[in-house]
Amino acid sequence: MRIIPAIDIIDGKCVRLTKGDYNTKKVYSKNPLEIARSFEDYGIQYLHLVDLDGAKLKHIVNYKLLDKICSHTNLQVDFGGGLKTDEDVRIAFESGASQITGGSIAVEEAETFSRWIQSYGNEKIILGADCKNRKIATSAWMEHTDIDVVEFITKYVQKGVKYVVCTDINKDGLLQGPSFELYNELISKVNPNLIASGGVSDINDILELKKLGCEGVIIGKALYEGKITLTQLQELC
């Protein structure tokens, strides 16, 4: 299972939110590159970089920071947040992203997202499936739909999506454990390459997600709050 630390960016700073609420913003570092380098120093190969400014403004914003991290580390970076147009995706890849995640675009402009999969291939385009009470949320989690998360993922797997990042918003940032039941259902019914995100609180959560069959796990607040150490992640890697 891939270990994927997260760096969320607002105003060029490394932050974390709770349940996606921008009013809960907590700044952990003013130097995201330094954080990324520390991950690499401990043998980590992957990074989930989220442009929260972009997610709110609905276009790519922090691409210069993406370029800086990709230019000064060997991390394979999955970049998401506000990617709405072909130009946004072009900039993300030209700035060094190995993969991009599309969430809102996959809901609001399915044809565009499907075209990205065809153009770039399913190794480079990740489906972002963020949900609250099993219903897909969009626009930095500020808008909610009636779309069931399992049906949503199933539809895109049938269209050729290979990787899915699924975040249970009710779990995000609370350090109370991931949405094990939902992930188990997704793996048993749909079986995508599932990347779990949200709620990871300790190493045991990671091991349990591995047992479920998750392809990867994104770790955020637990790492920044010291609930999980880089040494522990190094041992897992």
- Looking at residue 235, its amino acid is E
Tokens of 5: 């630390």
Task: Please list the residues that pair with 219 across neighbouring strands.
Answer: 5
Active-site annotation, residues: 8, 130
**Contact (CB, 8 A) for 105 and 88:** no
Q: Give SS3 for 215.
A: coil
Tokens of 37: 């380098």
**Residue 190: count of CB within 10 angstroms of its CB:** 17
Continuous segment of H or E residues that includes residue 164:
strand 163-168
Residue 148 has phi, psi (to 5 degrees) of -70, 135
Q: Give SS3 for 85.
A: coil
Beta carbons within 8 Å of 49's beta carbon, 6+ residues apart: 6, 7, 9, 65, 66, 69, 77, 78, 79, 80, 97
The CA distance from 22 to 137, in Å, is 15
